[in-house]
Structure 1
Amino acid sequence: MTTGAGSEQFTRPRGRAPKRVVLLGATGSIGRSTVDLLMRDPESYSVAAIAGGRDHAALARTALAVKAEFVAIRDEDGYAALKEALSGTNIQVAAGREAVIEAATREADLVVSAIVGAAGVEPTHAALSLGRAVALANKECLVCAGAPFMRMAHDKNARLLPIDSEHNAIFQALGGEDVSRIEKMTITASGGPFRSWSKEAIAAATVEQALNHPNWAMGPKNTIDSATLMNKGLELIEAHHIFGVPAEKLDVIVHPQSIVHGLVSFADGSVTAGLARPDMRVPIAHCLAYPERIETPAPRLDLVALGALTFEKPDLERFPALGLALDAMRAGGGLPTVLNAANEIAVEAFLSGRIGFSGIAAHVADALEAALLDGTAREPATVEDALAIDHIVRERSRGALAMNQASGMLTLQ
C-alpha cells in the first residue's frame, strides 16, 4: 500500500471554509495515509492539531508538511528535540498524556483517531465528550469500552465514522437502512500470511514471517493481529457496538483477495457489499469528506482483471485467537477488555522474541480464565472502569510472562 504524499491535488468547490481536522497517531500507517490525502487537497482541509507517540523526527516533518497549528508528543523525552525541530515556526509544541488530550480537544470539525492501542482511548473519549465527529481507526476504544463510548456518542450527538476498511464497507453498504431488518453482517479476513499453513508450521512461525502480510501494509501490532486472526475478533466486537447488532448476527469469512471488505444481508434475501482494492486511503477519504466524496489516487477495481474472488470459513483450530475473541464477544461484560489488554502484551512479547507465535493465543486464554475467576471481567460502567481493568490485566500479563520466561516455560511455545 502506497502512503507517500503525491503531487496531484483534488479540490472541492471554492468559497467553502476548509474542514478543520485533528489527527491523532499522525506517524503511524493510518496517520501517514491521512496525511497523504490532506496534502493532496490543502485548500479543503486545515490541520488544527496532530499527535504522536515517540517519533519526534517524523512528527516534526508531518507538522511542517500539513502546517499544523499544534503538535503533541506523548513521550516527554522527545519534547526538546521536537521543539528544536519546529523552532522558528508558529507551531505550538507540547508533550505528555495531557498534551495529547489537548490535541484531541482542539476546535475541529473532525478528529481522526489513529493512535494504536489503549493509549488512544482517553484522547478519543475526550473528543467525543465535546461532541466532535470522530473518524475511528483505534480498535481499543470500542473493544475496551464499547458501551460507555457509544453512550457518550449518543448523549453528545457525536458522529462516529469507521475508518477500518471492513466497518467502513458495512457503513456504506447499509445505506442508512434500519438495522432491525438485517439478518447478518459479515466482515472479511485476508487470512494473513499463514492462511494455508499447517497448525505445526504456524506454531513455529518467526516474527519476520508473521510480519509478511500478503495484502496490507500496517504497523507491527496490527499485522501480528492479522496473522493470528485476532484482528477479526476485535473487529466483530467493534461492529457489535458501532452498528448495534447482536453477536449472533455477526460473522467472518476468509477472503484472500481482500476486495470484498464487508457484506450486509437483509431480511428480504438481498445482500449489499463494499468492494475496493486494498488501500486504506479509500475508507479514510470517505471519512474525511463525509457526507461528500473526494477523489483518491487509490488503484481502481477491475473485476475482469481479477478474474475470480474466493471465500472460505476460518479455521478456529489453526487460529484459536479468533475463537477466543468470539467467545469474549458473546459473553460480554469485561471480557473484551481483558482480551484486548492480554493480547497487546502477548503481541509485544512475541515481537521481542520472548514467546513463540502460538504463545500469543495461549497467554490470552490464560488471562481470560484468570479474569473470570477473580472478578476482573466485570462490566465496565465507564471508560475509567475499562482503563482500570486494562491496567490490571496488563500488569498481570507482564508479570506472568516474566515469571514463565524466567522458568523457561514459554521459550518453546
Structure 2
Amino acid sequence: MKHAKLQEINFDGIVGPSHNYAGLSLGNLAATSHAGDISHPRAAALQGLAKMRANMALGLQQGFLLPLPRPNEGFLAGLGLTQDDAVEPENRPLVAAAWSASAMWTANAATVSPAPDTADGRCHLTPANLVTMPHRAQEWRDTKAQLAIAFADEAAFALHDAVPPFFGDEGAANHMRFCADHSASGVEVFVFGRPGGAFPARQSLQASRAVARLHGLAPERTVFIEQNPFAIAAGAFHNDVVSVANGRVLFTHEEAFADREGAYEAIRVAFPELQVVEVPSSEVSLAEAIATYLFNAQLVSLPDGNMALVVPMESWNSTAVRGFLDRMMSGDGPIGGVIPVDVTQSMANGGGPACLRLRVVADPATVDPRFLLDEAKADTIASVIEVHWPESIEPAQIGSAELAGKVVTARAALLEKLDLDQLA
C-alpha cells in the first residue's frame, strides 16, 4: 500500500555551541585521533547548515533537531561532581562528557519505522539508549522530549521510550530500509555487532529485536544481519560507516558484513528488487573507506527520479575513492551523481553527512512546523550561530564558568528565535 502524502524528511542536528574534541568515543578513530585539538563550533554549525541548504536546493525535504542542554549539570551532579572538578585529570573525561555536543549526530537519535511498515499504520520512533558511551548515554531523555514536540500528532506517530539499558541500541546508524518508494511498504534491516572485539560492538541483537517488536514490524519483512567484526575493529563503530541504503539500493563495502553473501541473500528473500552496489577492497580498502567516510554519505532520491550520493570532501579528495566514484558515475548503475559537501568540523569528531541526519518518512503536514527548515528559518538560525556560537574552544576551557555561560546563552537565544522555549 502506498501513502500518497508521505515523504522522506531528513532531520539534521544543529551542531551545538559546546562542540569540542575531547576524544570520548572509543572505537571512533577520527574522534580519538583529534582528541585535544581546538574545535570551532561556529564553523561546525554553519557547515552543517550549509549542507541542509544544499539538500533543500536539490528539492529534498529538510528538518532539524536542536542542540541538547549543555553542559549537563544533572549528569555531573549524579556523579558527585561539579565543573570545578575538571582540574583533576581523572575527572576531566567526565566533565567533558557533560559538555559533549554529540547529539548533533541525529542518525543516533532514534530508530524510525515509517507508517507503511508498521502494524498500526503509524510512524514509530524509539530513541536510542546509547549506553555504550557515557557521553552519549545521557542524551535519550532530552532527545525524546524534543521528538515528542516535533512528532506530537498521535494519529501519525508513536513515540517509545528507549530500550532498557541492558542492551545497547545506537539508533538509525545501524538500521536500513529498502522500498520501491519511500511512501510504500518496505523491508527493514537491523545490523548488530557481537561483543568481544578490540572495540565495543555498540548495537546488540537483543536491542534490534526489541525495536522491531515495539514498532510492530512484520517478521517476514524484517532482517537481522551481523556486522563484520573486522570492520568494527578497523573503526566502523556503526554500520553506516560501511553501508548506506536507499530505495532499492544497498551501497556497501565488500567487508561490511560478517557473512557477505548471506547478508545479501537474506535481504533479497524479503526484498527481491534489491540492487547491490559493492565497493571491492581491491579498489577502496576498508581502512580508506573508514578514513574518508565514503559510506557515511547520504544516498538520496532526487525529484527527477535519479539517486545521488552526498559525500564528505574527504572522500572526494581521496585518489582511491574518487577513482571508484568516477567509474561508478560513468557506468549505468542506480547511483548517477556524487555531491561533495564540507563538514570538516564534524568529520574530525567522527561524523559525516549521514551521521548528521535522521530520516523520517512522514506527511510534512503532521510534523510540528517549527522543526521544518526553509530559507528564511535557515537565515534566522545562521544569524544566531554567527552572533552566539563560540568561534573556538580549547581543551583547557572545558569546565570554565565563563564558557559555560556563553554556551547556555547561545542555546537559549536559538530556542527563543525558533519559538521553542519549552525545551529550555
Q: How high is the TM-score relative to the length of structure 1? A: 0.31
Q: How high is the TM-score relative to the length of structure 2? A: 0.31
Q: Which has the larger share of helix?
A: 1
Bigger relative CO (Cα 8 Å, ≥ 6 apart): 2
Q: Which has the larger share of strand?
A: 2
